[in-house]
């Protein structure tokens, strides 16, 4: 029974974390609006893969290396923040060029990225965020008690990783399906330039905030 309650606790905390607007959410929404449901699904898979890897790091206590070696944490912050700034500036350049859905259709052959590129962009954006790692560690500190039998610990680790990955994938698939609908794209087409400026600005601010924190 305690096993179930721990999973419920972890699931509740992680759901609140996942639905909170951030770089990952913006990236999936942007992909869905600018491309299609399939490509946005690959963005969801990229975020899910990164979440699973962070959960694995957390369960193996690998993230503690950030505490033991502060320089590693600084490097991760700079890399992660710089990548977010790059995404932001890229979005701002797109907004400046006023690249909307109508001319996207005319340049489909050159403008549509590959599934692998979409997946890797989402994966890198997620994996280069060290704060995600520390949040994962805090979840594992709640779910794994030192006095539990080793077998139960292993079972709990697998269950927590599966729970976090499933929640992440489901939420981002919901975003992919919702914002790839024609009605959402119709609205976006009318305000695409403003949305791209806002999204690019948020990406850039998040990047600066990650580096400065």
Residue 125 inside a domain? The answer is yes
Radius of gyration, alpha carbons of the chain: 19
Q: Residue 144: pLDDT above 70?
A: no
Domain assignment of residue 149, yes or no: yes
Q: What is the pLDDT of residues 87-137, one digit of tens each?
A: 888 878 877 775 544 454 544 444 678 999 999 999 998 888 766 766 776
Count structural domains, the chain: 1
Instruction: Label residue 192 exposed, middle or buried (CB < 10 Å: 0-12, 13-18, 19+).
Output: buried
Domain that holds residue 61: 2-6+22-212
Nearest to 134 by CA among 187, 70, 83: 70
Q: With respect to residue 67, please indicate whether it lies within any of the assigned structural domains.
A: yes
- For the segment 35-73, what is each residue's pLDDT rounded down to a tens digit? 889 999 999 999 999 989 888 877 776 556 666 777 777
* Tokens encoding 45: 């898979």
Is 134 within a domain? yes
For residue 12, being part of any structural domain is answered with no
């Amino acid at each position: 029974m305690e096993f179930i309650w721990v999973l419920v606790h972890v699931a509740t905390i992680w759901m609140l974390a996942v639905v909170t607007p951030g770089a990952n959410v913006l990236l999936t929404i942007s992909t869905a609006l600018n491309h299609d449901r399939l490509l946005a699904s690959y963005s969801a898979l990229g975020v899910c893969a990164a979440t699973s890897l962070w959960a694995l790091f957390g369960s193996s206590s690998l993230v503690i290396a950030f505490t033991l070696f502060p320089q590693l944490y600084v490097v991760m912050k700079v890399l992660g923040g710089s990548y977010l700034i790059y995404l932001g500036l890229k979005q701002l350049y797109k907004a400046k060029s006023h690249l909307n859905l109508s001319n996207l259709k005319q340049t489909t052959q050159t403008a549509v990225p590959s599934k692998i590129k979409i997946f890797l962009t989402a994966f890198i954006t997620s994996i280069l965020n060290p704060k995600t790692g520390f949040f994962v560690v805090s979840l594992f500190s709640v779910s794994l008690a030192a006095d539990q039998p080793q077998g139960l610990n292993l079972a709990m680790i697998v269950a927590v990783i599966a729970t976090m990955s499933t929640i992440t994938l489901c939420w981002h698939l919901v975003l992919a399906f919702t914002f790839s609908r024609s009605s959402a794209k119709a609205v976006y087409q009318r305000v695409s330039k403003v949305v791209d400026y806002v999204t690019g600005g948020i990406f850039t601010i998040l990047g600066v905030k990650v580096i400065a924190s």
